[in-house]
Amino acid sequence: MKNRQVLPCTSNAKGGLRSLLGAAVFGAAIVMALPVASTVEQQLVGKTSFAGTTVLAKDEKPQPPTRKTPAIRAKVFKELEKAQLASEEAGELMKTNKAAARAKYKEALGYLDALESKGGKRALNEYELANLYNMYAFIYFVQEDYAKAKKAYQNVLAQSPKIPYAMEVNTLYTIAQLEFVAENWNSGVKQLTKWMKAKNDLGEKIGANAHALMAQGYYQQKKYRSALKEIELAVNDYKSRGKVPKEPWYGLQRFLYYELKNYKKVASLLEETLAYYQKKAYWLQLSAMYSELDQGDKMLAAYEAAYIQGLLEKEKEVVNMAYIFLANETPYKAAKTMYLGMKRKQVKPTSKNLEVMGNSWRQAQETKKAIPILAKAAQRSKDGELWARLGNVYMDSDQPKKAAAAIYRGLKKGGIKRPENAYLTLGMAEFNLKRFDKSQAAFERAAKYKKTKKFADNWLKYLAKEKARQEGLAAG
């Protein structure tokens, strides 16, 4: 296997990957189910449970605690019904006329306020109060006044045990959701734990969405192992029923495994995610994870898959693709990537980008294509470094005159990183042009540098002999 390949143009690979993975988590808002406002008719005819003992058959589920709940009186029912009808009309108006909808919600709240104030709260029994506050909560909820909604739901719970057990359990769940919306993670987890216990006591399935919600709560508390346990319950629940897990669930699962440094699992989950959700970010994450795992070939394949699908549109992404091709010894593909990127106006023809393309053509043994590109790069460069490099390319392609001209321009412009090498190449170019005096001057400059002194001195000796030979031929 080749040396470990790392995504180029990334100053902090791990930090960047963590951000990519985290985006899938932070970008997923808490999804709340709209609370169900039972119709007043349902509340009136709902079963009234009485204290008693129930013997369960072997396969029967546990039953909710039996409770005696007071009935809703007709006069109270009438007022609740008015509020409910106004609320339903408001819901319909929200689609077309929000101002009118708000007025209707205000009307609905007015009915509830009037009912609450008539004779004081003591005029209503616990079950009537529970339904009153449940209606308040529903109206506040749909208007996104979550603080008032939570307070109203808490007032519903305050009527326990004189309310149906199912009503109490459902209210616990809604309060938990509201705590999460307010980013009260500790309270949200506590409320959801109470709700889960109640569901377990009833022998009822908790459900994937509730596990995912709990996972998010633990994640926000940085209790990653607890969060992982919950999100995997959610994912596995969906899989067991032949359903595709939700995209944010995969995102949280990947992030948690990454935080726990299980990179193989992260890569595996990204492969699974891509089977259902084709997104650029996932291909880039997968490529980065393969890099982390020292799997250079797979890293290239993942990044190239995104490129082939046309998902890489930003300049940095396209240039990264070229660098990855170069790192994996496929310079021709690197050059083509840069060429097409500039043609499609994804990549700007800056000096640096032209240099990458030119060097790629050169490594691919496409010298004729490399030279004009490198010349453009040199012309746009702020210093003489690229002119010096271009001089080397000209020498490799047996064009000493152009090589000398390029190096002279580079030396004049300044900023060459290895001037000693530039002088050596210049000396050889001038020697090939039989301009021995200029060649000698260049080699003498090269001899002043420790790294090139020995090589330059050898050239000077050879140059002296050649000059003498040429002079002898001329004299003879």
Per-residue pLDDT, 467: 85
Q: Cβ–Cβ contacts within 10 Å for residue 98, how many? A: 11
Per-residue pLDDT, 297: 92
Per-residue pLDDT, 69: 87
Residue 254 contacts by C-beta under 8 Å, 6 or more apart in sequence? 21, 24, 266, 269, 270, 273, 285
Of the candidates 36, 38, 43, the residue with the CA atom closest to the CA atom of residue 141: 36
Q: How far is CA 332 from CA 279, 287, 306, 339, 393, in A?
A: 27, 21, 19, 11, 17
Residues 364 and 325 sit within 8 Å (Cβ to Cβ): no
Per-residue pLDDT, 308: 94
Hunting for tokens 């359990």 — which residue is that?
A: 169
pLDDT by residue (tens digit) across 37-78? 444 433 433 333 322 333 333 445 666 667 888 999 999 999
**H or E element: which one contains 239?**
helix 224-240
Regions of the chain where pLDDT drops below 50: 1-13, 23-32, 34, 36-59
Q: What is the pTM (predicted TM-score) of this model? A: 0.73
Per-residue pLDDT, 45: 31
Residue 107 contacts by C-beta under 8 Å, 6 or more apart in sequence? 86, 90
Q: What is the largest CA-CA distance in the chain?
A: 134
Hunting for tokens 């039989």 — which residue is that?
A: 434
Per-residue pLDDT, 67: 81
Residues 405, 378: Cα–Cα separation, whole Å: 13
